[in-house]
Amino acid sequence: MTLHTDTFSTHLGPFSVALSPAGALVATAFGDQSALSERLPRGAVSNVLRYKPGCAEAVRTQVAEYFAGHRREFDLSLAAEGTAFQQKVWRALQAIPFGRTLSYGALAAKLRMPRAARAVGRANATNPLCLIVPCHRVIGADGSLTGFAFGEDLKQRLLEHEGSLAPRAV
């Protein structure tokens, strides 16, 4: 399967996307095409990545609206590959409202698996659709900003943008 890719600028740096031939979002990454390649599902090595500027206009528009403060949820066709458990966790991530955070334990409890915080954390870490499926809204039980593939600084900036954290003093 050929995946079409595009990279565009945000005020937090480049954002790359991979879409299926049908236009569904398969993976996203803060960074360039190499960062995106690392987010693709296992076995995607056999996929052909074709850079196709403009293929992701809907994604580009909605991401720009998000960063402009005009969008709180994304309305895109998603095609992330994962186990049934991962899919369940990723759906739960989408239910965390803009401007709110949950701990890994609280997310596990919402899924009626209160002892599965580590498994939920692992599924969160394997979310291939960063930003679109808001894994950045999950934090440590003590409020720490742990477990974001693109670093705690970027996670903090996303949460500040959403009003979940007070902006840092400069």
Q: Which residues are catalytic?
A: 135
Burial of 148 (0-12, 13-18, 19+ CB in 10 A): buried
**149 in Cβ contact with 130 (< 8 Å):** yes
Residue 108 neighbours by CB distance under 10 Å: 22
**CB neighbours of residue 49 within 10 Å:** 15
